[in-house]
A and B are shown apart, each in its own frame.
Chain A
Amino acid sequence: MNFGFNEEQKSLGETVAALLADFPALTGPDPAQARDPAVWRALADLGLFALLVPEAQGGVGLTLVDVALAIEALGAGLAPPIAASTLIATDIIAREGTAAQRETLLPRIATGDVRIALAVMEDGQGYDPAQVRTMMGGNGVTGVKILVPDADIADMILVVARVDDRVGLVMLSRDARGVAIRHHADIDPSSGLCEVTLNGAAVMDGALIGHAGSGDVISRLMDAAAIVYAGMAMGIAARMLDASVDYAKTRVQFGQPIGAFQSIKHRCADMAVAVEAGRSAAYYAFWTAAENDPDRSRAASMAKAYCGEIARDVCNETVQIHGGMGFTWELGLHRFLRRAKVMEHGFGNHVWHYERIMAQTLAARAVVADARAA
């Protein structure tokens, strides 16, 4: 038993962080300047998208726990959301895809030639993927998906839809007939949130992912996405903590650095505790996903609920500690606040995930009670 990362895993995180730092516009004040297509190519050239691809399909064959710190760095660096979406889709295809799907898609993902957006939510249906109304039938896929990050720059879209009275996953080409994309007006324009209207969207043969399997593909998708988003949220939180501490050391008022005042020092300490607590939840969840541990869904929901709340709190405190500067456009803290808010609502907010934790906890208790009775 060891709850620590090895040198390769740490080094991967540092490499991704250093690469993103070469694109200062990503975290600059203007979100409109933050969607540089060169970032995707640089991440692909680094080999990021080959990491989760099995060796048989030309990848490195790593697991989610190996890339946890790299994902944290994607969050901290406000990387384009399509990078995270593609990693999540890779995990699903590698684990749940048919042999043909793996052979067709994974080698092209590994080289960075396929960007995949994730389309789950629909208007009026809340966060629950079980409630989707989008249908796949003989005439293709029909329905309206909302809040799809980076759908406009994706090559493919993985859509949650009803298929044969079940909820399944369908892979569509963004250029397919019957696919229309509209940008949302939203709080974080750098997330590229889009509405995707599917009007009998054309589906290729073999587009259903994991449909023949145990029916667990949707929970795997929600868990993997929740965990990746939790990891990115901790990247943002840790970066904001660092910014707060740096500012508290250098900003002088009343003749001393404001960090010497306990009102500021203690807030920073509380943020540091929250960041460590969130990381404990997130890292454990990454491990459960890598091992497909029976505790995976509960751990994923804990991580998403808790890390989302922590990132929100730390961003809020960071703006407050920076005072008037914190509220300026120019300093750019708002970029992290905005991204954290969008991620908080992606793949289930804390309320949805806390309910899921409770359902899992009660189900586990029932199993124990049954075992005792038997």
Chain B
Amino acid sequence: MDFSYSPQEEGFRADLRAWLADALPSGWGETVFEPEDEDERAMFRLAWEKKLHAGGWSGINWPVEYGGRGATLVERAIFAEEMARVGAPEGLNIIGHNLAGSTILRHGTEAQKQYFLPRILSSDDVWCQGFSEPNAGSDLASVRTRAERRGDRFIVNGQKIWTSFAQYSQWCFALVRTDPDAPKHKGLSFLLIDMKSPGVSIRPLRQISGECEFNETFFDDVEVPVANIVGDINDGWRIAMTTLAYERGPEDALGRQIRFSQELDKLIGTVAATPRGDAMLIDDPIVRQKLARAVTQVEVMRLNAVRTFSKYLNGDDRGPDASVIKLYWSHAAQNMYEAAMDILGPTAPIAAPDPLSAGGGRFQLSYLQSKAFTIYSGSSEIQRNIIGERMLGLPR
């Protein structure tokens, strides 16, 4: 066990720090922030992602031949740490990087890798995920969107739902039914669909946070070249399981952990500066207990991710451990935002831009957003089934 870094790894860190010092807007995080408007924020994040790519910081641990940097998983972790240190903006193409790219790298044809991977890294192609349907949520294998083969094309008809970032996406990977007569897990295929294809339409869905990050996506006689299948026809379930392992895995968790630890730090800063009667809110022992528990759980998120990283480095396969990671961070983060609303006290319900809003009202939005954590990328109930059956060997 060793948490220290080699001279090469420290060199990687120093290079990244130097680049970040130049690349971030001056006053970033103190006087300069992300745009409030949802669409403007998306474009800001896209521009930041393209800047990272231009600087050579996109696809840290992807192979050089596909536009990556060819770095190690440890350097991937250092990258995440340094982004956290400076409070760097998020990207827009997270689904492209973490899910589409990782799945194509693992299961795609050489032609698919050559075409898609560099375009993901440059964010020329932003991706969305077409898995869930109105009647296929936790029971994902019962998707009904049909893809019929006609010559060198699939004709796709159906509806996907909760498609985050579809409005900004050029491409969508989708789980579709190619054999309606086969048992439900055996008749699925994994298709890459151009969102500009005729017959694709989207309708925004408003979330409890008031934002419209996700959508309904409709496919009406959409033509998809046969070359855009990943894996074999009717082997889509296996491919989708790879996607889900990345969606729930340590790379994803480490990125999120950084955001949570930044938010927690801001919460502590807010509490430390908030008067309560004759004292400060930070002096309240109950508040301190709640904060310390959040500090611990956010740190454990990081340690869980690094521990699982190390298992992969030491040659272990990706398995149900991804569900352990996801179940943990999703509930820990919800607990943290719930605690934030408790701690802020009577003014917690007052929203921005009201001058009396606590912490500028920022924790309210995060609190609302956090309700999605235990539902998306597999609800907690599904994660518990996976852990119970595949990790602990309990009967189905």
Contact = CB atoms under 8 A, between A and B. Distances in A.
Interface of A: 1-6, 9, 65, 245, 248-249, 256-257, 259-260, 262, 264-266, 268-270, 272-273, 276-277, 279-281, 283-284, 286-287, 291, 293, 302, 305-306, 351, 354-355, 357-358, 361-362, 365
B296 A283 contact: no
Of A1, A259, A279, A351, chain B has the most CB atoms within 10 Å of the CB of A1
Contacts of B306: 1, 3
Nearest to A356: B292
A260 B292 contact: no
A262 B1 contact: no
Nearest to B316: A4
* Nearest 5 A/B pairs, CB to CB: A280-B303, A354-B292, A265-B388, A269-B384, A259-B394
Nearest to A355: B288
A270 B387 CA distance: 9
19 contacts: A1-B9, A1-B77, A4-B310, A6-B1, A9-B1, A262-B381, A269-B383, A272-B391, A272-B392, A276-B307, A281-B296, A281-B300, A302-B295, A306-B300, A354-B288, A354-B292, A358-B289, A361-B295, A362-B282
Contacts of B291: 358, 361
Interface in B67-98: 74, 77
Contacts of A279: 307
A362 B273 CA distance: 12
Given A1-B2, A276-B304, A362-B272, A306 B392 contact: no
B396 A260 contact: yes
Given A3-B1, A65-B1, A361-B292, A277 B300 contact: yes
A351 B289 contact: yes
B300 A268 contact: no
A276 B324 contact: yes
Of B285, B324, B381, chain A has the most CB atoms within 10 Å of the CB of B324
Interface string B308-322: 011101100000010
A305 B304 CA distance: 17
Nearest to B306: A3
Nearest to B74: A1
A269 B395 contact: no
A366 to B, nearest CB: 10
Interface string B1-23: 11111000100000000000000
B4 A1 contact: yes
A283 B289 CA distance: 23
Interface of B: 1-5, 9, 74, 77, 265, 268-269, 272, 282, 285, 288-289, 291-293, 295-297, 299-300, 303-304, 306-307, 309-311, 313-314, 321, 324, 327-328, 381, 383-385, 387-389, 391-396
Contacts of A276: 304, 307, 321, 324, 328
A2 B313 contact: yes
Given A2-B314, A361-B295, A266 B4 contact: no
A272 B387 contact: yes
A259 B304 contact: no
A6 B381 CA distance: 34
Nearest to A351: B289
Given A1-B4, A262-B384, 11 more contacts: A3-B306, A4-B307, A264-B394, A266-B381, A269-B384, A273-B327, A276-B304, A280-B300, A280-B307, A354-B289, A355-B288
A273 B394 contact: no
Nearest to B307: A3
Contacts of A265: 384-385, 388-389, 394
A2 B1 contact: yes
Given A1-B3, A266-B384, A281-B299, A365 B268 contact: yes
Contacts of A357: 292, 295-296
A281 B307 CA distance: 10
A270 B3 contact: no
A259 B395 contact: yes
Contacts of B293: 305, 354
B354 to A, nearest CB: 27
Contacts of A365: 265, 268-269, 272
A277 B384 contact: no
A358 B385 contact: no
A260 B394 CA distance: 6
Contacts of B393: 245, 249
A269 B311 contact: no
A281 B268 CA distance: 21
Nearest to B313: A2
Contacts of B392: 245, 268-269, 272
Of B300, B304, B381, B383, chain A has the most CB atoms within 10 Å of the CB of B300
